[in-house]
């Protein structure tokens, strides 16, 4: 084996199927709300970055509140146009979500009889801001979950 190249090096290239997600790439400050903590502003940070030369998109997130875990997720695609996200957090929770990608939007959904969850993030203000809306289902009915506004880290007035 050549010392110049590591195994799989030729595959460390952008995945063209993930190009519609490039609006997410960057570091974001977040401000959110959650019904579990009414009246509290939930500040945090989220980053989206290309992994392995763009073969995958990685999301890292944290909310500055002890009831919300730090997490990491990897988004990838199949040749059939299917997108998936695998998520892991500091509690040891690991979940797989189906992902839907649109123009300036991304949504993920996990349907499970005991605990279903979804989130949609859409670009706003020409991509300078993202708006995220989470939903949760335990039992029969969907309810609000974590909702956030994302502003680019370092932009004046961030996470207002």
Which has the higher per-residue pLDDT, 101 or 8? 101
Residue 21: φ, ψ to 5°: -90, 0
Q: Please state, for a pLDDT cut of 90, what percent of the chain lies above it.
A: 81
pLDDT for the residue 125: 78
Q: How far is CA 42 from CA 28, 49, 123, 125, in A?
A: 14, 23, 20, 22
Residue 66, Ramachandran bin (φ over 0: left; ψ between -120 and 50: alpha; else beta): alpha
Instruction: Please check the confidence at residue 2 and state whether its pLDDT lies above 80.
Output: no
Give pLDDT, residue 153. Answer: 85
Q: E strands within the chain?
A: 26-33, 42-51, 56-63, 71-77, 83-89, 94-102, 105-110, 116-124, 129-137, 142-152
Cα 76 to Cα 14: distance, rounded to the nearest angstrom: 11
Look up the pTM and report it. 0.90
Percent of the chain with pLDDT over 70: 94
Find how far residue 156's CA is from the centre of its chain: 23
**Exposed, middle or buried, 75 (CB in 10 Å: 0-12/13-18/19+)?**
buried
């Amino acid at each position: 084996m050549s010392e110049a190249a590591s195994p799989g090096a030729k595959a460390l290239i952008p995945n063209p199927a993930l190009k519609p997600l490039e609006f997410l790439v960057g570091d974001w400050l977040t401000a959110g709300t959650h019904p579990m903590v009414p009246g509290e502003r939930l500040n945090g940070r989220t980053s989206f970055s290309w992994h392995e030369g763009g073969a995958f998109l990685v999301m890292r997130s944290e909310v500055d509140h002890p009831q919300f875990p730090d997490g990491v997720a990897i988004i990838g695609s199949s040749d059939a146009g299917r997108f998936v996200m695998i998520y892991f957090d500091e509690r040891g929770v690991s979940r797989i979500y189906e992902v839907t990608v649109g123009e300036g939007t991304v949504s993920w959904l996990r349907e499970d009889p005991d605990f279903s969850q979804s989130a949609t993030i859409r670009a706003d203000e020409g991509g300078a801001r993202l708006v995220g809306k989470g939903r949760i289902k335990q039992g029969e009915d969907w309810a609000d979950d974590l909702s956030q506004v994302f502003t680019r880290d370092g932009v004046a007035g961030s996470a207002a």
